C-alpha cells in the first residue's frame, strides 16, 4: 500500500461522515463505560461484603481502573460528537489512535504498579506490623 494513502487515511482532517447507527452505538458504549466505571468505584468499594475481602492495594487498583474507564467514556463522547459535527482536526483518526494508545499505556501502568510494586509494599507492611507488635 502506498505510504501517501496511509498518511492521508490517518491524518485526513475531514474523514467520511459517521453513520447514525454507528454514532448512537458509540454514544451508548461511551455511556456504558461511564456507568460501569462509576458503579465499579461506588458500588464495589462501598459494599461491606466486598470491602472486607479486599485490601487497600486492591482498592487503589479498582479506583485507578474505574478512573480510566470513566475518562475513556467521557473523552470518547467528545470524539464521537466531534466526528458527528465534522469538526476539523478533532475527528482525525490519528488522534483517536493516539488516545487508545494513551489509554492502553495508562492501564498497563496501573497493572504494572499492582504486579511489581504492591508485593514489595505488602512485604514492608508485614515487617512493620511485626515490628509494631513487639514495640507495643
Across residues 62-71, what is the average pLDDT? 92
Helix (H, G, I), strand (E, B) or coil at 47: coil
pLDDT of 28 higher than 80 = yes
Is position 11 within any domain?
no
- Rounded to 5 degrees, φ, ψ at 47 are -70, 125
Instruction: Give the pLDDT of residue 136.
Output: 66
60 found inside a domain = yes
Residue 6, in any domain of the structure: no
The parent domain of residue 102 ranges over 16-135
Cell triple for 82 = 466531534
- Is 2 contained in some domain? no
Share of the chain above pLDDT 70, in %: 99
Q: What letter would DSSP give residue 16?
A: P
Is residue 57 assigned to a domain? yes
Count the Cβ atoms, other than its own, within 10 Å of residue 22: 13
Quote the pTM value. Answer: 0.79
Whether 1 maps to a domain, the answer reads no
pLDDT tens string 29-38: 999 999 999 9
Cell numbers for 123, please give them.
512485604
Residue 135: DSSP 8-state: H
pLDDT band for position 77 (cuts 50, 70, 90): very high
Domain tally, the chain = 1
Mean pLDDT of 32-49: 87
9-20: per-residue pLDDT in tens? Answer: 777 777 777 788
- Average pLDDT taken over every residue of the chain: 86
Answer whether residue 7 is part of any domain: no
| Burial of 43: CB neighbours in 10 Å, binned 0-12, 13-18, 19+ | exposed
At residue 1, does pLDDT exceed 70? Answer: no
What CA–CA distance (Å, rounded) separates 56 from 117? 13
Measuring CA to CA, which residue among 126, 81, 75, 116 is closest to residue 98? 75
Distances, alpha carbon 38 to alpha carbons 33, 64, 100, in Å: 8, 12, 20
| pLDDT higher than threshold 80 for residue 119 | yes
Query: Quick check: is 5 in a domain?
Result: no
Amino acid at each position: 500500500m502506498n505510504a501517501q494513502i496511509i498518511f492521508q487515511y490517518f491524518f485526513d482532517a475531514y474523514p467520511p461522515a459517521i453513520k447514525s447507527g454507528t454514532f448512537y452505538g458509540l454514544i451508548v458504549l461511551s455511556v456504558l463505560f461511564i456507568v460501569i466505571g462509576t458503579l465499579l468505584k461506588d458500588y464495589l468499594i462501598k459494599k461491606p461484603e466486598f470491602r472486607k475481602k479486599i485490601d487497600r492495594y486492591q482498592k487503589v487498583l479498582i479506583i485507578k481502573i474505574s478512573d480510566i474507564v470513566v475518562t475513556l467514556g467521557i473523552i470518547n463522547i467528545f470524539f464521537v460528537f466531534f466526528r458527528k459535527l465534522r469538526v476539523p482536526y478533532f475527528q482525525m483518526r490519528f488522534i483517536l489512535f493516539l488516545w487508545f494508545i494513551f489509554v492502553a499505556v495508562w492501564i498497563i501502568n496501573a497493572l504494572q504498579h499492582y504486579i511489581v510494586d504492591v508485593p514489595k509494599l505488602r512485604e514492608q507492611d508485614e515487617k512493620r506490623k511485626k515490628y509494631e507488635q513487639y514495640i507495643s
